């Protein structure tokens, strides 16, 4: 298990790297988390990434871009990314900001995300 400077745990479960993004992370913490997440995907040869944003009340443009960037980086490493726990207010904010998070899938919770990733394995 690895952890970002903001004490964000990154764990691997059933071949999926799982991380929960907290509301109190600043921009530098998010950048550090992004680097550590990609390192963990590589180190574990993960086939999926689950990003839990259920504790986020709002998402600014920087955090939204970083979610998209994490998904793109994981995708380049052949890992499918699924975001879980998106609140309605966060979804509305992302749409209002014009952010589609292309390439980012969503699921209701981490269990469903892991099941979807495992079902998609060859």
pTM > 0.85:
yes
Q: How many domains does the chain have?
A: 1
pLDDT (0 to 100) of residue 36? 94
Give the domain CATH number at 72: 3.30.750.24
| Average pLDDT rounded to a whole number, residues 68-79 | 92
Distance between CA atoms of residues 58 and 89, nearest Å: 7
pLDDT (0 to 100) of residue 120? 84
Tokens at 42, concatenated: 């590589």
pLDDT (0 to 100) of residue 104? 84
- Domain carrying residue 82: 2-119
| Average pLDDT rounded to a whole number, residues 56-70 | 86
Distance between CA atoms of residues 40 and 8, nearest Å: 13
């Amino acid at each position: 298990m690895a952890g970002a400077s903001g004490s964000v745990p990154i764990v691997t479960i059933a071949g999926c790297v799982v991380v929960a993004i907290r509301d109190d992370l600043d921009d530098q913490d998010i950048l550090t988390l992004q680097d550590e997440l990609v390192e963990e995907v590589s180190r574990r040869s993960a086939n999926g990434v689950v990003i839990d944003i259920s504790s986020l009340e709002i998402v600014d443009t920087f955090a939204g871009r970083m979610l998209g960037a994490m998904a793109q980086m994981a995708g380049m490493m052949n890992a499918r990314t699924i975001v879980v726990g998106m609140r309605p207010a966060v979804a509305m904010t992302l749409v209002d900001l014009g952010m589609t998070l292309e390439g980012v899938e969503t699921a209701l919770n981490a269990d469903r995300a892991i099941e979807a990733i495992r079902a998609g394995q060859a």
